[in-house]
Amino acid sequence: MQLPLEFIEKYTDLLGAEAPAFFESFHQEAISAFRSNPLKERQETFDQPIKGLPWSYYGKVSGKSPQHVSGLVYSQEPAAQMVGHIAAPQEGMKVLDLAAAPGGKSTHLLSFLGNAGILVSNEISNKRSKILVENIERFGARNVVVTNESADRLAKVFPSYFDMIVLDAPCSGEGMFRKDPAAIQYWSLDYPKQCAALQKEILVSAVEMLADGGQLIYSTCTWAPEENEEVVQWLLDNYDMELLDIPKINGMAEGIGLPQTARMYPHRFEGEGQFVAKLRYKGAPSSKRLKTGKSNLNREQQALWQEFARKHLNLQLDGLLQVFGDNLYLLPLGLPDLSKVKIARNGLHLGVFKKKRFEPSFALGLALWSEEVKTRVDISEADFINYVAGQTVSVSQELPNGWYQIAVNGNGLGFAKIVSGTLKNAFPKGLRF
């Protein structure tokens, strides 16, 4: 790997005696890892756990495996996993992941929230927000809204609202050079300063959305002090914030001049590059009384949904029912009015209304456990291969016709209809392989 000469000179000065080991690490293979999903009903045991992280493992997982397709596992390299681990929100919190795509940090935050509280997962890029929606849906969470907005527009809707905001900020990407060598071509000596200006701009809006005592987790995948410690110091100088200490585990290093922050170097930490700071905000006014959304189902839609729920579900889903077009969604309670926000996924997609009937969604079938449904059929891994390819599956002729939650290895894989011993294929066409 050919690193820019100015990059080498900069980090030779910055790291001193550690510089040779740091540069040597770029010639080694990038570290792969994944997390298991505690929101899924059937858990599995995996080898090579990452010390100190409850759901994390070294290794690779196949995107075509039942574990991945059902949302039991999520691929994420070890340094990136430290952001969610350090954030560790408590159940019931209102949390914002401000630059969330492709979804690694959001799904990690959801592991801590445990379907309690609210996660607003935001991505300004429309293209990347679609990938984020897919990953959130597969994870099976019920308390997420995915927005597609700029930070300043979100701040107008969520003033002093969030208990925690995670910003993994757009950055110069130095920590990804080993994993993605193409990122090197975008680097220049002035690039970190340009990124820092954008990071501060986003943070101004982020602070506006923090509730009194709210926590801000600021991270980058770069080592540039201009984007890391200098940005954190700017926050401390301009806002009523205190810096919280991050315990250093697994080879993490102290920040430069701010020992409470954490740095991950690949010659010390078994992973790629990352910087993380954790701050508490003490300057927010008390949260304003926000206008909340209301259910907009008509009488027929309400009756169709209630009929489906009575026949097929064993639980009362808590939340706000709203229809967008013909699609029915369940939003977490306690959200402000989102009518002026671009929405990529408005809560949990329950299904669609079609000509005097209701059809359940793929997302609902991913989110529910066996005890929560009245009609469920498990398919084998051999049948799974055919099902994800778009084929039908033969089941017992004794099973009554109708809707069933499909499961593989004990975890939901959507809903589908059984007709005369044949499981009709309802796996989304865009996901088939």
Instruction: Tell me: is residue 63 an annotated ligand-binding position.
Output: no
Phi, psi of 344, rounded to the nearest 5 degrees: -100, -30
Instruction: Tell me: is residue 173 an annotated ligand-binding position.
Output: no
Tell me the sheet residues that pair with 241: 281
Amino acid type, 19: A
Instruction: Tell me: is residue 332 an annotated ligand-binding position.
Output: no
Residues 6+ positions from 278 with CB-CB distance below 8 Å: 86, 87, 215, 216, 217, 218, 243, 244, 246, 260, 261
- Identify the active-site residue in 39, 144, 221, 367: 221
Straight-line distance from the first to the last Cα atom of the chain, in angstroms, rounded to the nearest whole number: 34
Residues 6+ positions from 336 with CB-CB distance below 8 Å: 157, 158, 161, 290, 291, 292, 293
**How deeply is 389 buried, as exposed, middle or buried, from its count of CB atoms within 10 A (0-12, 13-18, 19+)?**
exposed
Instruction: Tell me: is residue 102 an annotated ligand-binding position.
Output: yes
Helices (H) then strands (E): counts for the chain = 12, 22
Residue 241, classed as helix, strand or coil, is strand
CA distance 325 to 329: 11
Instruction: Tell me: is residue 344 an annotated ligand-binding position.
Output: no
Instruction: Tell me: is residue 416 an annotated ligand-binding position.
Output: no
Instruction: Tell me: is residue 47 an annotated ligand-binding position.
Output: no
CA distance 248 to 164: 21
221 is catalytic: yes
Instruction: Tell me: is residue 168 an annotated ligand-binding position.
Output: yes
Tell how far CA 133 is from the center of its chain: 9
Instruction: Tell me: is residue 428 an annotated ligand-binding position.
Output: no
CA distance 229 to 294: 43
CA distance 237 to 255: 17
Residue 133, classed as helix, strand or coil, is helix
Nearest to 272 by CA among 199, 222, 218, 219: 222
Q: Would you list which residues are annotated within the binding site?
A: 99-105, 123, 168
Catalytic residues: 221
Q: Would you list which residues are annotated within the binding site for S-adenosyl-L-methionine?
A: 99-105, 123, 168
